[in-house]
Amino acid sequence: MTRPRFHRILLKLSGEVLMGDGQFGIDPATVARMAQEVKAARDAGHEVCLVVGGGNIFRGLAGAAKGFERSSADYMGMLATVMNALAMQNALEQIGVDTRVLSAIPMATVCEPYIRRRAVRHMEKGRIVIFAAGTGNPFFTTDTAAALRAAEMGCDALFKGTSVDGVYDADPKKNPTAKRYESLSFNRVLSDDLKVMDASAVALCRDNNIPIVVFSIREQGNLASVLAGEGVATIVQTQEN
């Protein structure tokens, strides 16, 4: 299947990707490699913005399960995403890529507040924009934040970089016979409860006709390959092919 080409994209990275081979925290070598992936996409002519999760530091749902009040736990998770965003900004600027971090929770001494028009202008100037602190509200995940920002920025697609090379009908790590999909519809993902993204994020992309491209970010150079219409990935869109 030939995938469409996209100009402006939002890249959603899970916080766990930034751990590298570790069990917790931020691995500088992995962050540097992610920065190279983003730079390659920018150098190929794409406008790129990012949302990074915080699961490598603190996950709100996990904190709530251990006794934290849910709203407080979610705010802690949002702060973790700011740390990850600053790490990505540092890595990108070390290789000469102008980057701005915009936080949904204002923290003027650390980064810019999220203002949609300002974010769009940064992207038009060729800068990488990293959206931090989720939506700024508890009870919403960074998946939903990614879908929201993709819609606000007028992105052509939402790219979800994961540890697997697409969407499967079962967990490929547990089931070696799991089937990978080349293409899926939004409604199929929701009806079959496929764990692509949160249902609210999938519905938001569906309602705004923003394709979701799921691919492995752990394979070096894969983002550029998938953006070029090559490489292995699953695309979630309005109609299945």
% the chain with pLDDT above 70: 98
pLDDT band at 231 (very low <50, low <70, confident <90, very high): confident
Summarised one tens digit per residue, pLDDT across range 60-80 is 888 888 888 999 999 999 999
Percent of the chain residues past pLDDT 90, beyond the cut: 73
Question: How far apart are alpha carbons 11 and 30 in whole angstroms?
Answer: 16
Burial of 23 (0-12, 13-18, 19+ CB in 10 A): exposed
C-alpha 153/C-alpha 97 separation (Å) is 20
| Domains parsed from the chain with CATH numbers | 8-237 (3.40.1160.10)
- Work out the mean pLDDT of the chain and round it to a whole number: 92
Which residues partner with 160 through β-bridges?
12, 214
Q: Is the pLDDT reported for residue 219 higher than 80?
A: yes
Buried b (16+ CB within 10 A) or exposed e, 110-137: ebbebeeeebbebbeeebbbbbbbbbbe
Of 90, 82, 28, 32, nearest to 54 by C-alpha is: 82
- Cα distance between residue 228 and residue 205, in whole Å: 22
pLDDT of 240 higher than 80: no
In this prediction the pTM is 0.93
- The residues facing 158 across adjacent strands are 10, 212
Confidence of residue 241 (pLDDT cuts 50, 70, 90): low
